[in-house]
Structure 1
Amino acid sequence: LLKATLDTNISEEQRFCKFSEDYKQIYLSLTYSIILVLGLPLNVTVLWLSWRQTKRWSCATIYLVNLMVADLLCVLTLPFLIIAYSLGDRWPFGELLCKLVRFLFYTNLYSSILLLTCISVHRFLGVCHPLRSLPYRTRRHALLGTATTWALVVLQLLPTLFFSQTDYVGGHMVCYDMTSPENFDRFFAYGVFLTLSGFLFPSLVILVCYSLMVKSLIKPGETLMKTGNAARTKSIRTILLVCGLFTVCFVPFHITRSFYLMLRFLSSEDCQLLMVASLAYKIWRPLVSMSSCLNPVLYFLSVGNNRVRLFQELRHNKVGDSKMLTMTSLNTVIGSRLTVTSSKGIPTHPS
């Protein structure tokens, strides 16, 4: 009976094929550790710089700060994954944390995509329709856009709280990345919906925006008159970095995951193909979190000279504090010498 129970908990690919996944213990632990070491200080620094900023936040800053918050929530879950994979894919933290970690992983993924879509649309309006879009490129609309983004992402991802489960496989607890085998058919339908609504549709919006922006930017004279050289430079930076993010993080992940889900749904018994699909998906899965390290770069490239002024102000304050400390020490030394001189009967202030 125990053997039958364990057999029902074995993943679909392992039911027909036998291949080792020992690489996960080293690869996933190392990858998530690197992302944690880089992503945590970068996102904390961006949030701290934004908080220290004296000027009112622009629309771009509002979107980017929300992006950093999503990254930080994801980065804070990485220690649990690092420990779990270091223990040989064992999950010692219980089902509640399993659900929370999976939920925050996908929250970071799809909120990043939607917020990058908002940034792209905002930049597109500023480049292609700078005057007509002025009533829509306001802080109020930026706050409304971020609130709508978070609401949509939470609604989209509520089912993950149901699908994410713990179970006992081989005598130890695991936290399923997707769901248990008995719920896989329903998860497949949900996964297709999530890919279309959370990735494909926003990607098409970004592609259209950037195509129109590039078409406008290749006319330097007309664009320079409309938006100015600084806005044009920012637009080019945004296009390059967002396209890089999608190329490195989001597109390969969704392609490999969709291929892997399709093979499992069709119950493919081609072990070689299933092994390749599983390997590709599990290699790209942690690289999605690399966006937590790359998104702060988008902040530093987008906020213009504000960051330079802030660093100059902090440096000035630091230099000022050092000078004040030096003057205080000098006055203390002079005062002590005058006191010693006075005690010997020599006037401290000769006339």
Structure 2
Amino acid sequence: MMLCCPFCFLPGKAQAEAAVLPEGASQEMETLDTNASRDQQVCKFSEDYKQIYLSLTYSVILILGLPLNGTVLWLSWRQTKPWSCATIYLVNLMVADLLYVLTLPFLIITYSLGDRWPFGELLCRLVRFLFYTNLYGSILLLTCISAHRFLGVCHPLRSLPYRSRRHALLGTATTWALVVLQLLPTLFFSHTDYIDGQMVCYDMTGPENFDQFFAYGMVLTLSGFALPSLVILVCYSLMVRSLIKPGETLRRTGNTARAKSIRTILLVCGLFTLCFVPFHITRSFYLTLRFLSSQDCQLLMVASMAYKIWRPLVSMSSCLNPVLYFLSVGNNRVRLFQELRHNKVGEQPAGAKGEKPRGGQIWVLTR
């Protein structure tokens, strides 16, 4: 399949309106080409890789994400109420992941059919909305978690009144409200259209709304990613600085506990960077090239490929969140095996009598 870009060299708004496609909609470009003047230069590049690559990656995320997130939610539900602050944040994070994972069968079928969308207008808008809800909901929830842990590590006594279940519930409710308000425009921008008689579902928007979508996309990147990432970076940096200080911190935690906490922080920051940073960079670069009417076909092809390669990989956070939950704190693995054994043989987990199960730990520093 060849992607043709006959309007890549048109100046100003004409090019911008012609440049935005649903993922993989090379048919639209072929239609646009019939309306272009014959002396226009045309950018052509193959996008056959998407039908295999996107179907495969989304299938892997579905297969891994559904049972992993379901297991964490199950363990959280089984533990004694009331939930701790960490469990409240965790449950909301897993819900955000599951909302997205449940939309993946629609995308897998679509790309397997060669980008044809057979599910109608409503599901098109809903699937695109839930993708960004998971993305920016996860980022804001991780921001809440980092701020919560920062207060517990760097200001354990002064912050005690603010690290309560009430504030955790308020934080998660505020997060969902902000995410929904930020993403309501996606329900307008995303829609279906017919290209050469085949229904497609726009990932971004149609050509006629490109200017508005570009402005919205840049604002969303700033408010939904850049600013929360800065907060996360500052919180974890101050936590590491506090942990490497000698004296009181050393007496409280010990060398082994401090080293484990620092490794956990670095792991979390590394995986956050891997999942979210490349996607936003490639997406912003791709949109900017379209908006500025780039005359470099090769650069346009690289930008398009990079964005579409990283787009499903950003969803790997749906699988990594529950994995980190188990790997970072050994107690979680023990609880899982105890629960499975209890269900199998009808016995209570070892040490369960007379004990109140500990609250689930988020995959960051534990104190």
Q: TM-score, normalised by structure 1?
A: 0.84
Q: 1:44 to 1:276 in 2, by over 3 A?
A: same
| Cα distance in 2 between the residues matched to 1:88 and 1:313 | 43
Q: 1:40 to 1:12 in 2, by over 3 A?
A: closer
Match of 2:163, SS state, is coil
Q: Say if 1:63 and 1:142, in contact at 8 Å, map to a contact too.
A: yes
Aligned to 1:79: 105
Aligned to 2:3: none
1:268-347 to 2 correspondence within 5 Å?
268-301=294-327, 305=331, 308-309=334-335, 311-312=337-338, 314-316=340-342, 318-320=344-346
| Cα distance in 1 between the residues matched to 2:168 and 2:260 | 18
Q: Deviations for 1:262-319, whole angstroms, at most 9, x for unmatched residues?
A: 0000111211110000000000000011010001023224666255245325425634
The structure richer in helix per residue is 1
Match 1:107 to one of 133, 136, 139 = 133
**Structure 1 residue 147 corresponds to structure 2 residue 173:** yes
Q: 1:30 to 1:154 in 2, by over 3 A?
A: same
Cα distance, 1:181 vs structure 2: 1.0
| Cα distance in 2 between the residues matched to 1:94 and 1:36 | 22
Q: Say if 2:137 and 2:175, in contact at 8 Å, map to a contact too.
A: yes
| Cα distance in 2 between the residues matched to 1:233 and 1:64 | 24
Cα distance, 1:236 vs structure 2: 3.0
Larger radius of gyration: 1
Cα distance, 1:232 vs structure 2: 4.4
| Cα distance in 2 between the residues matched to 1:10 and 1:135 | 55
Cα distance, 1:64 vs structure 2: 1.0
Q: 1:232 to 1:135 in 2, by over 3 A?
A: farther
Aligned residues: 316
Match 1:26 to one of 46, 52, 59 = 52
**Structure 1 residue 242 corresponds to structure 2 residue 268:** yes
Cα distance, 1:41 vs structure 2: 0.5
Q: Say if 1:188 and 1:261, in contact at 8 Å, map to a contact too.
A: yes
Q: 1:317 to 1:104 in 2, by over 3 A?
A: closer
Q: Deviations for 1:220-278, whole angstroms, at most 9, x for unmatched residues?
A: 54324456779746743542332123221100000000000000001112111100000
Cα distance, 1:46 vs structure 2: 0.7
1:150-169 to 2 correspondence within 5 Å?
150-169=176-195
Aligned to 2:26: none
RMSD: 2.4
Cα distance, 1:21 vs structure 2: 1.1
**Structure 1 residue 123 corresponds to structure 2 residue 142:** no
Q: 1:257 to 1:70 in 2, by over 3 A?
A: same
Match of 1:19, SS state, is strand
| Cα distance in 1 between the residues matched to 2:170 and 2:71 | 25
Amino acid in structure 1 at the alignment position of 2:274: V
Q: Say if 1:61 and 1:299, in contact at 8 Å, map to a contact too.
A: no
Q: Say if 2:20 and 2:205, in contact at 8 Å, map to a contact too.
A: no
Q: Say if 2:51 and 2:111, in contact at 8 Å, map to a contact too.
A: yes
Q: Say if 1:237 and 1:301, in contact at 8 Å, map to a contact too.
A: no
Amino acid in structure 1 at the alignment position of 2:160: L
Q: Say if 2:51 and 2:114, in contact at 8 Å, map to a contact too.
A: yes
Aligned to 1:203: 229
Aligned to 1:260: 286
Q: TM-score, normalised by structure 2?
A: 0.80
Cα distance, 1:115 vs structure 2: 0.5
| Cα distance in 2 between the residues matched to 1:152 and 1:120 | 18
Match of 1:305, SS state, is helix
| Cα distance in 2 between the residues matched to 1:191 and 1:245 | 24
Amino acid in structure 2 at the alignment position of 1:167: D
| Cα distance in 2 between the residues matched to 1:232 and 1:144 | 30
Match of 1:173, SS state, is strand
Match 2:67 to one of 30, 36, 41 = 41
Cα distance, 1:12 vs structure 2: 4.6
| Cα distance in 2 between the residues matched to 1:171 and 1:314 | 52
Q: 1:289 to 1:121 in 2, by over 3 A?
A: same
| Cα distance in 2 between the residues matched to 1:191 and 1:33 | 27
Q: Say if 1:25 and 1:89, in contact at 8 Å, map to a contact too.
A: yes
| Cα distance in 2 between the residues matched to 1:42 and 1:54 | 21
Q: 1:44 to 1:262 in 2, by over 3 A?
A: same
Q: Say if 2:64 and 2:319, in contact at 8 Å, map to a contact too.
A: yes
| Cα distance in 2 between the residues matched to 1:124 and 1:227 | 15
Aligned to 1:94: 120
Q: Say if 1:165 and 1:176, in contact at 8 Å, map to a contact too.
A: yes
Q: Say if 1:10 and 1:169, in contact at 8 Å, map to a contact too.
A: no
Amino acid in structure 2 at the alignment position of 1:212: L
Q: Say if 2:326 and 2:332, in contact at 8 Å, map to a contact too.
A: no
| Cα distance in 1 between the residues matched to 2:343 and 2:105 | 36
